[in-house]
């Protein structure tokens, strides 16, 4: 069956860039979420023209095409839920140029996040979004998910850095959109429409990114609080103080307990820990900001404040935050890790609300995340071999989404909608907005061949 499609694909990309081996197809049935579904074929295109020919054929023959970066997505967005062809973009991984004078870098989508950072480092520049998966995830994946990270409150997310794109549209037309300028208001902002579109509108084949000069001085502090309210107030006060820290992370009491009991970390009882970093281009700049933050911690009754005096000490302070997710994940065989976000002033409400919800379902959980931009990561642990635990975890997550939306928040601050959150899209987006989103999808992809079944745009 479909032997002619296989032959045509091989003709386009070459035998060496095609596979329908079971072992490959099984690998391509997953990303980093719990979803899985096997594709029929996978290819590694090496240029935009090949992608164009493939999308032209897919549109005519009506088979699904699923673009894929490194498969680190946490929402099932790269899972080929209706079979079809996986377009693995990892062989389009050329760093085309770095133009410091123009403050930009031009890359192919398969470039790994950390490789771009390494290439920018000698110039004293960086690409700030900083996803924790940076060692493996691709810039194409970052663009398609609008990836963010720990420095979001100060530096924003991928969308803030995408100046222009080359995109292959369903049907095969190749479009260049956006510009190479720091500023442009010429026409609709189509480039940014593709950012966060999760491979549902087009396949990104080239990216023009704005880059930033890298701060050379950093100060790191950690503060403990015996009251969640005080910690929440400290966050609000910091964000009102005129200082924007480069990192402002919170760990809840459960996370502290789990780290103490399961990673032998020497952490005293506290209701919350806040990890904060300031940066600048001189030591004084970073220190002045940190002094102000320390004042705010004291005003809000922090019981202990420690400021790192060296890089090694800073690493020690980071240890709890860096270990939180992986240590908690050991408590059960499975976990759901969400990334809901609320307006900053609602962070304390979200923290206490999530605790109450998950306590009621008697499952282990931790909450940590980016307090500085209101983006929290509640992680609920369960055992997938126990149907009752699976059901309780599902209900807890359902309630977390509802609470988040009631607080004026959003289902996802950085991981995307994919399959995991597709059923909840209408909770956040009203019928008019859903209708406009579906019409946009129809304009770009009238035959729904590109990554179908994602983002709640069509019925499964
Ligand atoms: C340990 C871990 C930590 C993580 N930490 C973070 C974090 O801090 N912040 C964060 O935002 N995310 C994080 N993630 C999630 C994930 O790494 C990001 O969503 C990342 O941007 C996905 O990149 P990828 O290359 O793996 O894309 P994939 O997972 O392969 O694909 C993701 C989506 O992008 C689409 N896509 C990929 N390439 C293209 C292309 N060229 N054109 C069109 N569509 C394309 C796919 O179809 C899919 O919809 C983490 C994941 C893990 C496993």
What pLDDT score does 460 carry?
A: 44
pLDDT tens, residue order, the chain (460 aa): 589 999 999 999 999 999 999 999 999 999 999 899 999 999 999 999 999 999 999 999 999 999 999 999 999 999 999 999 999 999 999 999 999 999 999 999 999 999 999 999 999 999 999 999 999 999 999 999 999 999 999 999 999 999 999 999 999 999 999 999 999 999 999 999 999 999 999 999 999 999 999 999 999 999 999 988 899 899 989 998 999 999 999 999 999 999 988 888 888 789 999 999 999 999 999 999 999 999 999 999 999 999 999 999 999 889 989 899 889 888 889 999 999 999 998 998 999 999 999 999 999 999 999 999 999 999 999 999 999 999 999 999 999 999 999 999 999 999 999 999 999 999 999 999 999 999 999 999 999 999 999 999 985 4
Q: How far apart are CA 168 and CA 165, in angstroms?
A: 10
CB atoms within 10 A of CB 331: 18
Pick the atom of ligand 1 nearest to 74's CA. Answer: 15
331-425 fold: Alpha-Beta Plaits (3.30.70)
Q: Is the CB of 208 under 6 A from ligand 1?
A: no
Spatial distance between the Cα atoms of 283 and 264, rounded to a whole number of angstroms: 34
Please indicate whether the domains covering 215-316 and 331-425 agree at the CATH topology level: yes
Distance CA(443)–CA(342), nearest Å, equals 31
Rounded CA gap, 153 and 275, in Å?
13
For ligand 1, whether the C-beta of 278 sits within 6 Å is no
Domain 91-213 of CATH type 3.30.465.10 = yes
Ligand 1 close to Cβ of residue 65 (< 6 A): no
Task: Determine the topology of domain 3-89 in CATH.
Answer: 3.30.43
Q: Please tell me if the CB atom of residue 110 comes closer than 6 angstroms to any atom of ligand 1.
A: no
User: Which of 69, 169, 416 is the pocket-test mutation for ligand 1 (most atoms within 8 Å of CB)?
Assistant: 69
Q: What are phi and psi of 195, to 5 degrees?
A: -70, 120
**Domain range list for the chain:** 3-89, 91-213, 215-316, 331-425
Q: Write out the two tokens for 31.
A: 């990303």
Report the C-alpha gap between 120 and 101 in whole angstroms.
Answer: 13
| Cβ(149) – ligand 1 distance below 6 Å | yes
Is the CB of 107 within 6 Å of ligand 1?
A: no
| CB-count exposure of residue 1 (10 Å: 0-12, 13-18, 19+) | exposed
- Helix (H/G/I), strand (E/B), else coil: 242: coil
* 76, 35 Cβ separation under 8 angstroms: yes
Q: Tell me what pLDDT residue 6 has.
A: 97
Ligand 1 centre and the CA of 137: distance in Å? 6
Question: From the CA of 7, how far away is ligand 1's center (Å)?
Answer: 30
User: Which residues on neighbouring strands pair with residue 250, listed in sequence order?
Assistant: 274, 369
Ligand 1 nearest-atom number relative to CA 113: 25
Question: What pLDDT sits at residue 459?
Answer: 55
Which residue's CA is the closest to the ligand 1 atom numbered 44? 199
The CATH number for 215-316, chosen from 3.30.70.260, 1.25.40.320, 3.30.70.2190, 3.10.105.10, is 3.30.70.2190
Q: Which ligand 1 atom is at minimum distance from the Cα of 67?
A: 47
Q: What are the strands, taking DSSP E only, across 62-191?
A: 65-68, 85-88, 95-99, 104-107, 125-126, 162-168, 174-178
């Amino acid at each position: 069956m479909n032997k002619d499609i296989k032959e045509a694909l091989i003709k386009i990309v070459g035998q060496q860039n095609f596979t329908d081996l079971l072992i490959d197809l099984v690998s391509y049935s997953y990303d980093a979420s719990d979803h899985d579904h096997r594709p029929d074929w996978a290819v590694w295109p090496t240029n935009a023209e090949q992608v164009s020919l493939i999308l032209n054929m897919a549109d005519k023959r009506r088979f699904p095409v699923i673009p894929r970066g490194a498969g680190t997505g946490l929402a099932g967005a790269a899972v080929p839920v209706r079979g079809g062809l996986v377009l693995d973009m990892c062989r389009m991984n050329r760093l085309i140029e770095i133009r410091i004078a123009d403050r930009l870098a031009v890359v192919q989508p398969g470039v790994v996040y950390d490789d771009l950072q390494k290439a920018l480092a000698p110039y004293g520049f960086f690409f700030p979004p900083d996803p924790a998966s940076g060692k493996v995830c691709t810039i194409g994946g970052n663009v398609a998910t609008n990836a963010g990270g720990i420095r979001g409150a100060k530096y924003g997310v991928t969308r803030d850095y995408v100046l222009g794109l080359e995109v292959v549209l369903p049907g095969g037309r190749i479009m260049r959109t956006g510009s190479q300028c720091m500023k442009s208001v010429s026409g609709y902002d189509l480039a940014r429409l593709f950012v966060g579109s999760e491979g549902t509108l087009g396949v990104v084949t080239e990216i023009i990114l704005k880059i930033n000069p890298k701060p050379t001085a950093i100060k790191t502090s950690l503060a403990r609080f015996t009251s969640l309210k005080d910690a929440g107030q400290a966050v609000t006060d910091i964000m009102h103080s005129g200082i924007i820290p480069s990192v402002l992370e919170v760990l809840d009491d459960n996370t502290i307990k789990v780290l103490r009991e399961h990673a032998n970390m020497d952490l005293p009882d506290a209701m919350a820990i806040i990890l904060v970093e300031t940066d600048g281009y001189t030591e004084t700049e970073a220190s002045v900001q940190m002094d102000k933050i320390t004042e705010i911690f004291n005003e809000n009754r922090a019981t202990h404040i420690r400021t790192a005096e060296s890089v090694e000490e800073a690493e020690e302070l980071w240890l709890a935050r860096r270990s939180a997710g992986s240590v908690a994940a050991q408590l059960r065989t499975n976990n759901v890790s969400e990334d809901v976000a609320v307006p900053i002033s609602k962070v304390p409400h979200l923290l206490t609300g999530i605790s109450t919800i998950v306590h009621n379902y008697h499952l282990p959980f931790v909450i940590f995340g980016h307090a500085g931009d209101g983006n929290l990561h509640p992680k609920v642990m369960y055992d997938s071999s126990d149907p009752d635990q699976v059901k309780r975890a599902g209900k807890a997550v359902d309630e977390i989404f509802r609470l988040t939306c009631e607080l004026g928040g959003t289902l996802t601050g950085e991981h995307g909608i994919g399959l995991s959150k597709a059923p909840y899209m209408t909770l956040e987006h009203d019928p008019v907005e859903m209708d406009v989103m579906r019409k946009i999808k129809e304009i770009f992809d009238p035959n729904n061949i590109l990554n179908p079944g994602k983002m709640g745009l069509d019925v499964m």
